[in-house]
Each structure stands twice: as structure tokens, then as C-alpha cells.
Chain A
Amino acid sequence: MKSFVRQKGLVAPLDRANVDTDLIIPKQFLKSIKRTGFGPNLFDELRYLDEGYPGQDCANRPINPEFVLNQPRYEGASVLLARKNFGCGSSREHAPWALEDFGFRVIIAPSFADIFFNNAFKNGLLLIQLDEATVDQLFDAVDKTPGYRLDVDLVNQQILTPEGESIAFEVDAFRKYCLENGLDDIGLTLTDNSEAIREFETRHRAAQPWLFRDGAVRQA
């Protein structure tokens, strides 16, 4: 996983609530057995005017000029400004993979869906939850200011605006630690907890042996 410490990035606004993961990456692209290459199909049904399919060269597809990410002023954006309940629906990690592959590193919204939130942090994305009023102000500012960039500082947990304002944000200590250091949490779990897991498992098996099949499976 890529680490994230501090980044100043162009902001793209996606002004709709309840953006679901089907919208972020439609199901036909979930047939891939890889973790990469989803960026060209991010928001596929909003970005293009035709139906996309896996393995296609998207360079020649008709573009929806009205969609925000197709507007030249947002080209190269790495901060996505969104509305409430972003990432709701399916647990597909292809959604953060697509966002990351496209070039986003930060998403700011009033709220996020739980599963998407977990998935995003495991892929080097920083998700920042701000109150509705602050998000409204940022939408206004982005709209009025071409080239609007935010300086996102994970270490000090603050966003610096071009107006010189500082917006503080919360992040779990463990998520912050993993993100700053680009750490694979499986390695951490095994290093820190293998013994605790084994001990737990022994007690658990003694208390509820029916939870362990030990290879003995009866047929239907």
C-alpha cells in the first residue's frame, strides 16, 4: 500500500448524495481477477455515453462532457469532494481500487458507508469526514475558484485551504499509523497477535467445539 503523509491536490466536486459502489465501478468490471487497471472505468456510466465492457480500450469511447471528471478544469484531481453516504451498497473493493487507480488519494464527505470506509484505508486512500456546513463551503469554493487545491496534512490532521483557513479532521490512530507508513495490516496482525489468536482459538474450541469441523463434514 502507498503511504500518505501530506499532499496538496486539485479538488473535483461530485455533487450527489448516496453515491453507491455500483456507480463507482459497475459490475461488469468486477470480473477481473486483478487488483489494478480499474481507473479508466471509474464512474463508467457517468463518464461515458455508451455501455462499457471489460478489456475495452476506453480512449475511443464517447465521453459525457457534462460529467465533472471530464471537465478540463478538474483534470489531474487527487481530492474528491463528495456528499453524504458516499460508497454505500456493495462491499466491492474494486471501488477504492478504481478511485486510487484514477489518481484520487483523498475523499472528503459528510459521511461514508462503513464497508467502503474500511476498504478505502486499506488501499492508501485517506477518507475525511467533515460536517455538512464545511462540505457545503468547500463545494462553493471549488465552484468559484478554478484550480482550487487543498493541502491535506495527515500528520497534523488538518486541511489547509487556499484562503489560509485550517480545517481539523479526525482519524483513528491505527489507521493513521498504517497509512503514514504504507503498512500491510496482515503482517502487523501476525507479528503482534499470532500468540493471542492461538490462545483464543484454544479456549474457543474448548467452549464451543461445534464451531470447528476438523475436516469431518457430513454429506447433504
Chain B
Amino acid sequence: MAGQTLYDKLWASHLVSSRDDGTSLIYIDRHLLHEVTSPQAFEGLRLADRRPWRIDANIATADHNVPTSLKERSAGIAGIEDNVSRIQVQTLDDNTTSFGIETFGINDVRQGIVHIIGPEQGATLPGMTVVCGDSHTATHGAFGALAHGIGTSEVEHVLATQCLIQRKMKNMQVRVEGQLGPHVTAKDIVLAIIGRIGTAGGTGYAIEFAGSAIRDLSMEGRMTICNMAIEAGARVGLVAVDQTTIDYVKGRPFAPTPEQWDAAVENWRSLVSDDDAVFDKVVTLDAAAIEPQVSWGTSPEMVVGIHDSVPDPAQATDDTTRRGITRALEYMGLHAGQKMTDIQLDRVFIGSCTNARIEDLRAAAAVVEGRQVAGSIKQAMVVPGSGLVKRQAEQEGLDQVFRDAGFEWREAGCSMCLAMNADKLGAGEHCASTSNRNFEGRQGYGGRTHLVSPAMAAAAAIAGHFVDVREFVGTPAPTRRAVGL
């Protein structure tokens, strides 16, 4: 019998029951809740007179709607100026209070984007099943946890039964071998993967990211990769457990106690795919060949290397693709053959569950230090992923580096990744964004998003247009406002 993949093991260890047609009941260890996808689930529980099955499996925080300006935040929920947003955040607070669910309030230092605070608190552990009413729950798979996004009906199902009705996915392995070039990051790897397999390439699969380039990444980098598995169509992204994983988890507030630690580590060491495991599909990438990536269109698969140009619809292989490219170019205000480095920018956003961890902020600050945001940029903002990331960055002086360069330094939240709060693009504005989706209207009505790494976003902010960060950091930092880079 062939060996098991990591996904096979996680599935087997959480299987409660199965029907003849393959429909299965899977036990859920951790459920993260936020304000946008939970109110209707709590309402459903109340209407059916049901109670949560296991309170301690749940952790809640508000992230999507919360303002990131200190002025609005300092007054707590009451300070949220947008009435509809305030009601939604208040509703989460009311629901979690009445059901007794642990909640990090909007001014708790532990508040932040759910996918940042779960790992940060040790609430995401290897071997767990983790779900949340948010597609970027795939992030937590970086810990060798089976993690995926769910809808609101499923949020209610998990609250009521501690289980989910699922069908087993197929196994895909994406191997990234070799060494990344300098300033090429996890974000570039995952964008390159999506560019290769497409936004539906992983549909129906759990993707395990493997290979030496993945093993060499920090936990932050692995989280960035798994985070965007959903942008390749896969609900689940996974990375096998190794010493990097174990070292990250140790000592975190929700991690195993010292008495439990050795047994936990012994268990976690088995969370790797067996050598003879069979994957339904294997994709291989050469890390050394990956360039810094920039998206040009309205789907994450519409991405190229920084030295490439906007594609020509005439070269598409079928009508649907050709129309898709044409429509994207029209929406983005770009033309075929245009160099990526010629795209002028209006705003820069460094943040989101993809790239708002301390390592991301360090990478951006290293590029920004001693330089100035270009005069043509209307706004450049840094939104830390959590209160704790913000505090850490401030202890390292990164906030000052950003402020000195002309960036705004904000409070934690999802912010301009999806523009549910006041942080948004205006119509027609181009944004270099470290977020995960460049869909039409995603960052604001008519807004034009380009997905990049934190280092590339930082370099673009200084130059006013996209620029290869590898060449950019080679030039000495000017002491005054940067011109003519």
C-alpha cells in the first residue's frame, strides 16, 4: 500500500463518520470567527435554540470592518464612524459575549487579522483542523494543519456540531526546488505558482508546498504561500512540519503547556507526507528562475515578472481567454506590450493577511530606509497585521522608518485589502498592493490593483512606478526626495 500524504493523515485523524457517497463528517479543532461572516450563523443558532458544541474551540476578533486610523480606533467600537460597520462589529461583540466565546476586542493588543493572530497566539497548532468564514484560512496550513475557508452556513454547522460535512479532496504537490534570488520572496513564489497553474489549477485539490525553497522559508513566508493557495483554486494549502514550525510555536500563549510539550512535538514530527506517498498531480518550479512578480490584470493568474510586458490578447489560445484579457486591460487602463516598469502608481498598500507580518514589514522597511515616497504617490500606507506585529515593529523602529519616508502608519486590520473600511482606492487609481486579490472593484470602486511583495511595493512607492527591487536596492539611498529613479 502506498504511503500517505500529509493531507491524507490529517483527514484520517479527524474523520468522525462517512456516508457511502463519500460525504464525511470531519471534526474541527479550531474555529476562528470575525464580524462579517458570523452574524447570520449566530442568528441561526438562536432561531433553532442551539448552543455551541464546544466553546473553547472558538476565538473571535473583528478585522474586516475596523478603522485603521488612531482617531477612530481610540474610542473603541463606539468610535467607528460608519454606522453599518459599527453595527456589524458590535454584533460580533454581542454574540461572542452572550455565547461566552473568547474575543480579542478592537483595542486589545492581540487584535488583528484572524489569519495573523491565530498563529501568533499559538491558537493554530500543527495537526489541527482550523476553519474560519474566510477563504484565506488556507494560511494556517503552513503549520501542517488542515485549514480552509467556509461559508456562513458552515460557520453555523461548526458552532452547533464541532464538525463539518466534507468530501475528501485530491492531493497535489507543488515542489519549489533550489535557491531564491536575492529580494525574491515567498510572495513571488506563490504568484509565480498561480501564474503557472491558473486560478482554477488547484480546484478540488489540497496543495502541499514542498521542496528546498519552501523548507528554507520562515513560518511567515510559508504562511504567505499557503494564504494564496485559494487564489490557485485550492481551499487547502499545506507545508510539512519541521523544526522551523516547532520553534515558532513554542512558548506562545495557546501552545501546549510545558508538561504537554514533548508529547505534542513527538506527534507533530509525523506530520509529513510519507516518502512513498502518491500525489494525483505534481508541479515543479525552479526557485532560481523566479523573478519578482507583478500582476497586471484582474485575476491573480494575470501576473508576470517585473521585466515582462502586459500580454497581447491576440496571443490567447481561446476566445474566452482572449475576451478575459481584453476586458482586464480595459478595466486596468493598460495596453498590450506595455512594460510593467512603466505603470505609474497612485497608492501603495502594505498589509493584509498575506503580507502584514513582522518579516514583511522588515523587508519593506529595509528598502524604504533613508528614502522618500515619490511625490506622485497620493498615499502610501502600512497596516500591520495585528496589534502585536505593530508593537514589535515599533520596538524595532520600523514605524519611524516608514513615517520618515512619507508612509502612513496605521492600526491593525484588513484595511485596503478589501476596502470594507474607509481605506480604499478611487476609481482609476493604480495601487501596488501586498494583498491577495486584484479583482475588479476589490480595493475600491474602479480601483486598479497590482499584487506584489512587500519589498516590491516599497520600491514602487519610492520610484512612483514599478521597479525591480534587486536593481533598486543596489542604488545608494538619496538623502532627499528621490527623483528620476
Contacts and interface: CB of A to CB of B under 8 A. Distances in A.
A172 B21 contact: yes
B161 to A, nearest CB: 5
B149 interface: yes
B87 A33 contact: yes
Interface stretch (A60-68, A70-78, A140-148, A212-220): A212-220
Given A114-B233, A220-B388, A186 B152 contact: no
Nearest to B23: A174
A89 B148 CA distance: 13
A185 B264 CA distance: 34
Contacts of B299: 18, 20
B40 A174 contact: no
Interface in B149-189: 149-154, 156-157, 160-163, 165, 167, 169
Nearest to B29: A211
A120 to B, nearest CB: 9
A92 B441 contact: no
A196 interface: yes
Interface string B59-96: 00000110000000000000000101101100100000
Contacts of B88: 31-33
Interface in A166-220: 172-175, 184-187, 189-190, 193, 196-197, 200-201, 204, 207-215, 217-220
Contact of B253 (A45, A89, A204, A217): A217
B105 interface: no
B278 interface: no
A93 B37 contact: yes
A100 interface: no
A52 B428 CA distance: 17
B200 A208 contact: no
Contacts of A122: 151, 153-154
B243 interface: no
A123 interface: yes
A27 B418 contact: yes
A34 B42 CA distance: 11
Interface stretch (B121-129, B208-216, B279-287, B467-475): B121-129
B320 to A, nearest CB: 5
Interface string B195-226: 00001100110000000000000000000000
B420 A28 contact: yes
Q: How large is the interface on B (under 10, 10 to 19, 20 to 34, 35 or more residues)?
A: 35 or more
Nearest to B252: A220
Contact of A113 (B65, B161, B233): B233
B185 to A, nearest CB: 23
Which of B84, B160, B321 has the most CB atoms of chain A within a 10 A radius of its CB?
B84
B109 interface: yes
Contacts of A83: 320
Interface string B91-129: 100000000001000000110000000000100010110
Contacts of A214: 56
Given A27-B418, A91-B150, A122-B153, A172 B22 contact: yes
A85 B233 contact: yes
Interface stretch (B12-20, B398-406, B455-463): B12-20
Q: How large is the interface on A (under 10, 10 to 19, 20 to 34, 35 or more residues)?
A: 35 or more
A114 B84 contact: no
Interface in B224-270: 230, 233-235, 253-257, 260, 263-264, 267
A178 B29 CA distance: 26
A197 B128 contact: no
Contacts of A30: 36, 64, 420
Nearest to B30: A211
B135 A91 contact: yes
Interface string B311-342: 00000000011011001000000000000000
B91 to A, nearest CB: 5
Contacts of A112: 203
A164 interface: no
Nearest to B102: A217
B11 interface: no
A45 B27 contact: no
A40 interface: no
Contacts of B64: 30
Given A173-B21, A217-B253, A220-B388, A23 B441 contact: yes
A8 interface: no
B363 interface: no
Contact of A115 (B109, B235, B255, B441): B235
Interface in A109-162: 111-115, 118-119, 122-123
B465 interface: no
A17 interface: yes
Given A186-B156, A190-B161, A193-B16, A212 B56 contact: yes
19 contacts: A22-B441, A34-B39, A83-B320, A85-B200, A90-B134, A115-B135, A115-B151, A118-B150, A122-B153, A173-B19, A174-B21, A185-B165, A186-B44, A189-B25, A189-B163, A190-B160, A193-B163, A220-B109, A220-B110
Interface of B: 16-17, 19-23, 25, 27, 29, 36-37, 39-40, 43-44, 48, 50, 53-54, 56, 64-65, 82, 84-85, 87-88, 91, 102, 109-110, 121, 125, 127-128, 133-135, 137, 148-154, 156-157, 160-163, 165, 167, 169, 199-200, 203-204, 230, 233-235, 253-257, 260, 263-264, 267, 299, 320-321, 323-324, 327, 388, 418-420, 437, 439-442, 445-446
